[in-house]
Amino acid sequence: MSNEQQLDNSVKFRPDYQWPDKDAERDCPKCNNSMQRQEDLPEYYGKPWWCHTCQWQFSEEELND
Ligand SMILES: [Zn+2]
């Protein structure tokens, strides 16, 4: 966290996704291959799950549907 953080409040690009546990594992709903869990980093704006096969991101919310 930097002191500049408060200046960024008006420009919040990062969606508030539910993030999986560090040891969580998920299979892709499209191809059933295991997906890669992304790190929950402040500069990462994508969804937590990445399927290399489909080249597609998934959120926990989508997977729980
Ligand atoms: Zn897939």
In the reported structure, the alpha carbon of residue 43 is separated from the centroid of ligand 1 by a whole-number distance in angstroms of: 24
What is the percent of the chain with per-residue pLDDT over 90, rounded to a whole number?
68
Residue 48 DSSP code: S
Ligand 1 center from residue 52 Cα (angstroms)? 7
pLDDT digits (tens, 9 = 90+) for 13-46: 678 899 999 999 999 999 999 999 999 998 898 9
Q: Locate all alpha helices (DSSP H) within the chain, ordered by sequence.
A: 60-63
- Inform me whether the pLDDT recorded for 7 exceeds 80: no
Q: What is the pTM of this model?
A: 0.76
Q: What percent of the chain has pLDDT over 70?
A: 80
Give me the residue spans of the domains in the chain: 22-37+48-65
* C-alpha 14 to ligand 1 mean position (Å): 24
Count the helices and strands in the chain (H runs, E runs).
Answer: 1, 3
